Amino acid sequence: MRNLLIILAAALTITARAQTVELKQTQPEVFSTTNCIGCHGQSAMGGLGPPIAQTKLTREEFLTIVRQGKGMMPGSPVADLSDEKLDQIYTQVGDMPYVESQIPVAFKVASMLTTKSVMRIFLAVFAFAAVAALWGIRYWLRCAGLKELMPHIVKFGVLKSLWIVMKSFVVDGLLVKSLWQTNKFRWFMHGLMLYGMLGLLLADILLSISNPSRGDLDLTNPLKILPIVSGIALFTGVIYVMYRYKRDPYIDNGLTLGKDFLFVNLLLHTMISGFLTVTFNRMGLTGWIMTIYIYHLASITLLIGTAPFTRFQHAWVVPLMISLTRLTEAVTAGKVSLGFEREPSPGRHHKSERIVASVFAELGPEYSDDFNMRYYP
């Protein structure tokens, strides 16, 4: 009986071997020799990437994804992986058994990081930040006396008011006129950050329209150049601000230093992790990509999620407050409402201005006209 079993076992082993040999003869094992297994697992049941055994993708779709990459998966150019090999991989992967129980835990974590779920996470964080930001804006509008100003705006002309506000958004907000007038160098450094950030935002919007699967793009592609140049600008600006935190004794206004610093730091981490992600992806450092990518996503999530509470909010509060200041000035100059300059005074700007003027006059005649009022959180 025992001997019989041994013979049976031996026979089974031989048949199994013969089958493997047969398989190998018709189809050389390619998949296990590629870097795909680093992310999709030895048995193609997933690792940090999804399972691709029994893939439902057509040959065309499969080839496109592998050539161009997708999300965090780097593309493989023909130089690294011939068309022939890729074809074999497709056939092989399609034939490999789909074993649910073999899907690793790592993938269950990583599956939260596909292009689609990242999009969802960001939408949620963004929605939260937007609601919190609106709540904050409500506070500032109340401080600015918008409610009291309203009836006078109607008399002054709603369209004219809108025009003044829009103009101020461009001149004071987008072009940052006040900084241009006080210090051209600081304006430039601030511009690196402001326009760098806008460039990144624009690139991201354009990319999600023209390249939703986030495949690899040529480095000479305008949609690649724009974010890289914007990123370098933003990075330079952030480094300069970090330097100022060390050197400028007046940077601490005594109120918001912690929030300012948090904003700049999160910006720095977002930039560094972003550059590392792109570089590692290009270099094909597959073992590190996911870790760095998670670091990058965490930085962005924190940056956006905390935006309404950090110095980030100056990006919308300051332009809003300046535009209201301009509007109040125009309404005052327009003399549409008698008593506007007296109590009860809507938009307290001109009153505050008078107070500041008198304080400066106390300091000496040379100061009397030399001030510029700004409101910001």
Site residues, ligand HEC (CB under 6 A): 34-36, 38-40, 48-50, 52, 55, 57, 62, 65-66, 70-73, 76, 81, 89, 114-115, 286, 289
Instruction: Write down the least CB distance from residue 147 to ligand HEC, Å.
Output: 48
Closer of 81 and 189 to ligand HEC (Cβ): 81
Hey, what are 130's tokens? 């937007």
Amino acid letter, residue 174: L
Residue 42 or 368: the one with the smaller Cβ distance to ligand HEC is 42
Task: Tell how far CA 337 is from the center of its chain.
Answer: 46
| Cross-strand partners of 67 | none
CB of residue 121 vs ligand HEC: minimum separation in angstroms? Answer: 13
φ/ψ bin of 44: left (φ > 0), alpha (ψ from -120 to 50), beta (otherwise): left
Of the pair 20, 213, the CB lying nearest ligand HEC is at 213
Nearest to ligand HEC of 52, 266 (CB atom): 52
**Nearest distance, CB of residue 74 and ligand HEC, angstroms:** 6
Q: Report the nearest approach of ligand HEC to the CB of residue 105 (Å).
A: 15
Residue 188: phi, psi to the nearest 5? Answer: -65, -45
Question: Amino acid letter at 184?
Answer: K
Beta carbon of residue 43, minimum distance to ligand HEC (angstroms, whole number)? 14
326, 172 Cβ separation under 8 angstroms: yes
CA distances to 83, 104, 149, 190, 317 from 307, in Å: 47, 36, 28, 18, 12
CB of 40 to ligand HEC, least distance (A): 5
Tokens (6 digits) for 147: 């409610």
Instruction: Provide the CA 118 distance to its chain's centre, in angstroms.
Output: 11
Residue placing its CB nearer to ligand HEC in the complex, 71 or 145? 71
Nearer to ligand HEC, 107 or 235 (CB): 107
In angstroms, give the least distance from the CB of 102 to ligand HEC: 16
* Short-list 232, 230, 188, CA closest to 205: 230
Comparing CB distances to ligand HEC, the nearer of 111 and 178 is 111
| Whole-number Å distance between alpha carbons of 159 and 103 | 61
Please give the Cα distance from 24 to 16 (Å, whole number): 12
